[in-house]
Structure 1
Amino acid sequence: MSAQHSLVILARGGYAARGMLYLIIGIFALLAARDSTKPKDSHKSLEALLSQPFGYFLVGLVVAGLLAFAAWRVLQATRDVDHHDKKFKGLVIRAGLLAGGLVNGALALFAMGLLITDLKSSGSSSGQTRDLLAHLLSWKHSNLLVYLIALVPLGVGIAHIFKGWKASFERYFEADADVMRYVRPVSRFGLVARGVVFIEISLLLAISGSTYQAMDPPGMKEALDALQNLPAGWLMLMVMALGLIAFSVYSFSEAFWRKINMDVPGVSRA
């Protein structure tokens, strides 16, 4: 098997792992529409999955897939395999891909920690993270730092909504019209839903501002909790949960039909 073919398998496995993770989050969020004790984020969902039959095997698959996906994102960013170019817009997209690779790599390490250690040991590392956060936020103008950080999920969220609205993802798909007839609307709904969640995370960060203390930063759980606390929140949470499941379908579709360009210098062909 050539190195090029191996990288294609790595990329497709990564998209499938992302799909599995969002499917799990979406299902738990759907259940949480009526039961607020259900997990609504990636960390808690992985912990809940670990307690299920064959949980270790499933989490192990997610770990391998997330590591593959992180490596693919880094390759997309550093080798520009999707030809985003070196203009400002392309550099911003590539920076986002690199950030996504780092986030997925960190999530994979968290899941790996669940497999090889008990939850108490992982809790100590999160305490160290909070200590570092407390040090950063002790700065006089730390609220400005929070506002700057909030721009990241805001940009990601807006990009997802535009990507879903314009269906620009189709240029990367190699699927016939009959397949895209079903993939297109589900993928658009999933991308918009994920974009809304990211924008809400950004707003939660911005609202917290200078009042933000040494705690875990707001994430998907906090965003979905905020929706659930609104009037008819259970309905909004249900719609958003279906959107996250739709995003998992989009990820699985990428695993099957996305163009994986591996015309990369230094990578051997078959």
Structure 2
Amino acid sequence: MTAQGARFRVTGGKVASSGAFRALGRAGLAARGVIYIIVGALAVQIAFGEGGKEADRQGALHAVAQTPGGTVLLWLLAVGLAGMAIWRYSEAVWGQAAPEGGKATKRLSSLARGVFYTVVCASTVAFTVGAGGPGSSDKKSKDWTGKAMHDLPAGRWIVLIAGLGLVAIGVGIAVAAVRTRFEKKLNTHQMSPGVRKAVTTVGVVGKSTRALVYAAAGVFIAYAAITFDPDKAKGVDGTLRQFAHTGAGPGLLVLIALGLIVFGVYSFCEARWRRV
């Protein structure tokens, strides 16, 4: 590395670890927590036959919009999501604040998440100003699956690989959660033993539940490819609703919904103790 490159790395690292960047990251984690708590609450309503809204990001934004001061809250969510995107981009450039955070794989992961949260932020802003929004997760999943299978060369195989990839991601997240690898990203030394135990429990339950939803959505996408039927694909809302139609009945959906709420709570724990 040249002297100029080294100076850039050091200067950039100082910027990325500044109070402003840490605040942006923590605001983004809190915004993520709000969304997951609302999605989980909507899923609980669905389980009890009271679900008029979709249990996904679109449904969460509608729920926020209908609360007193909803527009202000939506703008706060958008700001938080923008902060998340900026923080992830800074990690892509200067590395994550975690062991081996400078590895290329870690940087690429942060870049992908930065792009994702940029899209999420943009759709939130569009919803707030009445110019659209994230749209139904089920419709987007079906539309993407159908377009890919019919318009792309080997599209059916691409969809199958995407579905299996999502399953693999879900399994990977669940394994990492059970092994409590997420603790490496937390300032656990700032917690009392009791708080650390509680945060670890919340992290394992919340992350594992989110991983299960990811994996289940991947199964439906893979099944859509196998049957060559894009209507078999499901987004977050459709995946959650399907849990209520298993042998365990609506009770399973309640457990999954509560797990998503727990992940939302864990997001607030990250907003407090994550190394950013």
- TM-score band, normalised by shorter chain: 0.7 to 0.9
Alignment identity in percent? 25
Does the CA-based 8 Å contact 1:39-1:48 persist in structure 2? Answer: no
Question: Residue 161 and residue 94 in structure 1: after superposition, are their counterparts in 2 closer, same or farther (change >3 A)?
Answer: farther
- Comparing both chains, which one has the higher relative contact order based on Cα–Cα distances under 8 Å and sequence gaps of 6 or more? 1
CA distance in 2, matches of 1:155, 1:206: 12
Q: 2:82 aligns with which of 67, 72, 85?
A: 67
Structure 1 gap ranges (5+): 261-270
- Note the C-alpha offset of 1:21: 0.9
- SS at 1:196's partner residue? helix
User: Per-residue displacement from partner, 1:92-122 (whole Å, max 9, x unpaired)?
Assistant: x543333232222212111111111255x88
User: Per-residue displacement from partner, 1:54-97 (whole Å, max 9, x unpaired)?
Assistant: 111111111111111122222223322233343xxx61x54333
Q: In structure 2, what is the equivalent of residue 8 of structure 1?
A: 22
CA distance in 2, matches of 1:233, 1:132: 29
Q: 1:200 aligns with which of 199, 208, 216?
A: 216
Does the CA-based 8 Å contact 2:58-2:134 persist in structure 1? Answer: no
Mapping for residues 85-234 of structure 1, pairs under 5 Å: 85-86=102-103, 91=105, 93-117=106-130, 119=132, 135-138=147-150, 139=152, 141-174=154-187, 175-176=190-191, 177-209=193-225, 211-213=228-230, 218-234=234-250
Q: CA RMSD in A?
A: 2.8
CA distance in 2, matches of 1:78, 1:151: 30
Question: Residue 133 and residue 32 in structure 1: after superposition, are their counterparts in 2 closer, same or farther (change >3 A)?
Answer: closer
User: Per-residue displacement from partner, 1:196-216 (whole Å, max 9, x unpaired)?
Assistant: 000001101100005243x79
Does the CA-based 8 Å contact 1:146-1:205 persist in structure 2? Answer: yes
User: Per-residue displacement from partner, 1:217-266 (whole Å, max 9, x unpaired)?
Assistant: 63211210111111232111100011101111111001001122xxxxxx
Partner amino acid for 2:119? A
- Counting matched residue pairs gives 251
Q: In structure 1, what is the equivalent of residue 253 of structure 2?
A: 237
- Note the C-alpha offset of 1:191: 0.6
CA distance in 2, matches of 1:212, 1:167: 38
Q: 1:25 aligns with which of 23, 39, 52?
A: 39
- The alignment status of 1:43 with 2:55, answered yes or no, reads no
- SS at 2:178's partner residue? helix
CA distance in 2, matches of 1:225, 1:9: 36
Partner amino acid for 1:79? W
CA distance in 2, matches of 1:85, 1:100: 16
- SS at 1:191's partner residue? helix
Question: Residue 50 and residue 233 in structure 1: after superposition, are their counterparts in 2 closer, same or farther (change >3 A)?
Answer: same
- Note the C-alpha offset of 1:128: 10
Partner amino acid for 1:39? E
Partner amino acid for 1:24? I
- Note the C-alpha offset of 1:129: 10
Partner amino acid for 2:42? F
CA distance in 2, matches of 1:255, 1:207: 37
- The alignment status of 1:246 with 2:262, answered yes or no, reads yes
CA distance in 1, matches of 2:229, 2:242: 17
CA distance in 2, matches of 1:37, 1:127: 16
Does the CA-based 8 Å contact 2:141-2:235 persist in structure 1? Answer: no
Does the CA-based 8 Å contact 1:157-1:195 persist in structure 2? Answer: yes
Farther-moved stretch of structure 1 (165-174 vs 94-103) = 94-103
Q: In structure 1, what is the equivalent of residue 11 of structure 2?
A: none
Q: 2:274 aligns with which of 248, 255, 258?
A: 258
CA distance in 2, matches of 1:206, 1:131: 15
CA distance in 1, matches of 2:207, 2:139: 33
- Note the C-alpha offset of 1:140: 5.3
User: Per-residue displacement from partner, 1:126-149 (whole Å, max 9, x unpaired)?
Assistant: 999987765533245211010122
Question: Residue 147 and residue 94 in structure 1: after superposition, are their counterparts in 2 closer, same or farther (change >3 A)?
Answer: farther
